[in-house]
Structure 1
């Protein structure tokens, strides 16, 4: 029997998936005890993330981004890697009246060039690296005061507290995305990446 209340496919806008070509412009690792990163030639990835990195692990502890859990609750680690784009970092720097904002200052693991509006990549986007690694985007990386203070200190801003407060305001939807390892291996600086954006729609029921 025909369901008179069934939704027709043409009642919702669906945008098709697409592929983008990109390149690894930089690779970075954080020591186990601090979120700031340092440049390296490549990243060794397992299902736990980057070996020895500050954000490595199958699980992590919840924080301010997960108000639905008591702080410190063990949960799956969907934030194994932080990915940023050079053009978006340049916008942030301009808004903060700085010459530059380096990926290392905000704990980035990958600098990816060639993807317009990288921070707007939807959850589920897959990054296929030429060397065989696959990463899956979980969502946007929300800018925080900790990263803001790191920028202020490294850029030698006169007022570190003002810098820590300014960054979350000017970097919203420009701070890149977080991702987790779907297929491990090694990522090399300069490596080609195929970015596959999934089919998209707006849920409005």
Structure 2
């Protein structure tokens, strides 16, 4: 038997291994609140609507078709221009409440950590997989890129706004307390206007675990 035949047999054997596949599903949600950041600071402020283009929220701190790489992309030299998949920051109130409790705080407001969109009605929001689509009733579509990893910059903002005595301790505590609860980052697939209270159809894609 030659090497080519052996390879074919090996591939066939691999293909027969069981793979857990979770079917796609649809969820219903609602826009709880909207926020926008000044172009020179990542903290946001409440607004009643967001105007979205292909480059994100016009004038927002994270707007742009591209962005500069940072600590989250160690495979690039810091400051390398790359596609901006972090145009929109999405959070859930129930997850922020858990993070606040872990840090011994009464609350953590979405604007303290630069959120643009507070979503209601989705359990375990931060666990939505990459590729999830958010279809807003008004016509906008946003596509989830990934979880938003908590960082010390957001932690310091929480500490300052919550009045913690030790801002550096708060900056260090937040990444641990908010792990897998920090929400999601997403980008605009179909632009338009989002309004507070708007209905959202959440389409979670089929999922599986890749095992090499």
Please tell me the TM-score bracket, short chain as reference.
over 0.9
The one of 160, 164, 168 aligned to 1:161 = 168
Alignment match of 2:62 (pick from 33, 55, 64): 55
The structural deviation recorded for 1:11 is: 1.6
Q: Residue by residue, what CA displacement relative to the aligned partner does 1:136-182 show, whole Å, maximum 9, x if unpaired?
A: 00000000000000000000001101000000011000000000000
**Alpha-carbon distance, 1:9 to partner:** 6.5
- After TM superposition, what 4+ stretches of structure 1 lie above 4 angstroms from structure 2? none
Q: Could you tell me the TM-score, scaled by structure 2's length? A: 0.94
Where does 1:125-204 land on structure 2 (aligned, <5 Å)? 125-204=132-211
Once residues 158 and 44 of structure 2 are traced to their aligned partners in structure 1, the CA distance between those partners, rounded to angstroms, is: 12
> In the alignment, which residue of structure 1 is the partner of 2:39?
32
Shift of 1:99: 0.6
Alpha-carbon distance in structure 1 between the residues aligned to 2:165 and 2:132 = 39
**In 2, distance between residues paired with 1:62 and 1:125?**
23
Q: Gaps spanning 5+ residues in structure 2: where?
A: none
Q: Report whether the alignment pairs 1:114 with 2:126.
A: no
1:123 maps to 2:130 = yes
1:77: which partner in 2? 84
Q: Distance in 2 between matches of 1:57 and 1:160?
A: 31
Residue 103 of structure 2 corresponds to: 96
RMSD: 1.1
Could you say which structure has the higher helix fraction?
A: 2
